[in-house]
């Protein structure tokens, strides 16, 4: 047996021994793990499907979704957002249980801007059907000039939204305090590009300029590592999954420092401090999430 075959056999055997299902990251092409859900004429495959462009014009936006749902794990994509005047557009990357009124959902929403203004990313979390947990951060770079990695880490301990390696939001599991936490419903991975000029830019004051269309958002390096559903029932509860390890149960020292930097310098809206909406702070805010 050659060394290559021996290594392959050892890896396969290790996967079989693991209670959890081995999930490979970074598929060879977009269509390996995803399907087009909305307006296939507006999604362009590039480099043999290793990258794609989402297109928004006056006829339609578009969207795609993972072929499977997942329960815990990490998902990430490299995205280059719409350049120039993107006011009124929303590029979304999110996870969703697709269960209507009791849905769980973890959102990145990139809100278009007028040229020269910071790009804003809005995050939101739905747990057991309850959302309205918006936070907004002004990005500290031009996300339309190059690709950047956007990641959602989801385990039994917390949910963390990352921009590159910088955590911009943490939602801790505080079920012990009767605060809902997404835990039971698997979620698919989605992305859409659409018009939302009634609210996306300066609360709807800045409208979309269709003379700048088509608007293009580019994607590559799709990476999903988690427990697929349907799949082995024991996967989601397996503490041996790498994303459940001690390293990933809380922010490390460097991540905590970066997180504080974002909170001090770049957050522009936090529902926890919006007394007009919440005269009494939501319980998860009081719990220090």
Catalytic residue ranges:
105, 109
DSSP 22: P
Backbone angles phi, psi at 181, to 5 degrees: -140, 130
Residue owning tokens 């700048």 = 212
Within 10 A of 22 (CB to CB), how many other CB atoms are there?
12
Measuring CA to CA, which residue among 103, 225, 227, 81 is closest to residue 163?
81
Q: What is d(CA 87, CA 81) in angstroms, rounded to the nearest whole number?
A: 12
Q: H/E element holding 110?
A: strand 105-111
Cα angle 215, 212, 60; round to 5: 45
d(CA 200, CA 126): 19
Where would I find the beta strands (DSSP E) of 43-103?
A: 43-46, 51-56, 62-80, 89-96
First to last CA, the chain: 53
Among residues 286, 5, 265, which one has the least CA distance to residue 137? Answer: 265
Distance CA 69, CA 184 (A): 12
Interacting residues of 242 by C-beta distance below 8 A, sequence separation 6+: 225, 248
């Amino acid at each position: 047996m050659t060394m290559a075959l021996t290594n392959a056999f050892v890896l396969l055997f290790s996967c079989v021994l693991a209670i959890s299902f081995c999930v490979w990251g970074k598929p060879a092409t977009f269509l390996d793990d995803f399907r087009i859900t909305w307006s296939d004429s507006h999604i362009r495959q590039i480099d043999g499907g290793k990258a794609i462009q989402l297109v928004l014009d006056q006829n339609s936006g578009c969207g795609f979704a993972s072929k499977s749902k997942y329960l815990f794990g990490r998902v990430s994509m490299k995205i280059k957002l719409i350049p120039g005047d993107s006011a009124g557009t929303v590029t979304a990357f999110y996870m969703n249980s697709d269960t209507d009124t009791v849905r769980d959902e973890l959102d990145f929403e990139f809100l278009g801007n007028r040229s020269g203004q910071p790009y804003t990313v809005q995050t939101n979390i739905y747990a057991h059907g309850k959302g309205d947990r918006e936070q907004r951060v002004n990005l500290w770079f031009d996300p339309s000039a190059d690709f950047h990695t956007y990641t959602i880490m989801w385990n039994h301990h917390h949910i963390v939204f990352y921009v590159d390696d910088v955590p911009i939001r943490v939602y801790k599991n505080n079920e012990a305090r009767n605060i809902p936490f997404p835990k039971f419903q698997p979620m698919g991975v989605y992305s859409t590009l659409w018009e939302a000029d009634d609210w996306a830019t300066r609360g709807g004051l800045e409208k979309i300029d269709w003379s700048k269309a088509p608007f293009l958002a580019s994607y590559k390096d799709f990476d999903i590592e988690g427990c697929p559903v349907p799949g082995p029932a024991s996967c989601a509860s397996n503490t041996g999954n790498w994303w459940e390890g001690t390293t990933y149960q809380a922010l490390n020292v460097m991540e905590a420092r970066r997180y504080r930097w974002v909170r001090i310098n770049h957050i522009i809206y936090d529902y926890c401090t919006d007394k007009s909406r919440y005269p009494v702070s939501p319980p998860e805010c009081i719990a220090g999430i």
